[in-house]
A and B are shown apart, each in its own frame.
Chain A
C-alpha cells in the first residue's frame, strides 16, 4: 500500500511539473491548458512524458520538450524522456475551459467549436476579445504563429489574434 501511495504521489508530482510548462509563444497557456500534454508515465523513478504537436511545423515543440525536461529535473526526476505522439491528431477541442478564458483575458479570441473549415470564404463570426462585439472581419487566415489568424474588430477598431479552430 505504501508503494502505491508513493507512486501516486510521484506521478502527481511529475504531472504537475510537466503541466506547469507554458507555451513559449502564448505564455498565458500551459501545455496542459492547450492539450499538448498527453501522458505522463512513471516507471520506478523514471518519467516519460508524451506530447503532441499542434501543427506539424510548430517551432515551439523543441523548446517545449526542453522545458519539460528542465521542469522534471527540478522536481527531482533524473533523465526524464519526452516523446512526441502524432495520433490522435491534436484538436482545439482539447483546450480546457480555463485555457479559453485565459486566452480571452490576454486579448486572443479562443477557438470556436469545429466549423466547416473547408468552406470557401467561410462565413464564421468571431467575437472581439476586447469589446465583445461580433462585428469583426478576417484580415489574414495566418497570424503571428501557426495556430492563430489575424482579425479586426469593426466596433472598437482593434486588431486581434484568433486561435484557429483545428
Chain B
C-alpha cells in the first residue's frame, strides 16, 4: 500500500530522516517508535506531503504523494492540534470533515454514535468550541475525525499521549478493531512501548532518522524493545 524509496530529509546539512526502503502492505497495523527527534513525525509529514523530501519518494497506493493530490481521498490523519479548527464545535468539525470526505450527516452521526463510550460524554453536545476543550478531549475529537469517510490509510501521531487511562484502553480497542479490517492500513507512532506492541502487528524502530529494527510483533517484542531502549 505504502512504498518508501530512498527517502531522505535534510534541514541545512543535518539529516533528520534516511529510509532506504520501507514497504507497508495493505491492511497492516504499523507502529513507529523512537526517541524524540528520531524522525517519526517527519516521516508522517512526508507521507502527508506537508514537507518536501530532500530526495526519494513515498508512493501511497500507486500515487506519488509529492506530485499528485490523488492520495487525499483515501488517506486521513491526525498529527497534532493544528488539524483541528478551533472555532468550530466538535459536531460542526465532524460534519465539515464529513463534507470534505463525502460522508453526509447521517453517515457521520452513525459513526459518532459508535464512539459514544470513547467520548465519555465530554465531546458532543457540550456547547463548547474545540479551542475551549481540554488537550485530551481535543485529541479525542481529532482522532475520531480521522475515521470519517471510510479512509483506507489512517495516520495517527502519538494518539495515546495526553489521554486518561480509561480512554487509552478504549482507544486501543478501537484501533485494534480498525486494524482488523482487511482494507484499512493504520500507521501509529508512539513513545509508549506497551501500547504500541499491543495494537500493532509490526513495529519499526527509528533512531536518528534511520530504521534500526523491523519486527513482527510477538510475545517477546516488548522485552526486545525495552532492552533496546534501555541501553
Do A and B come together as binding partners?
no
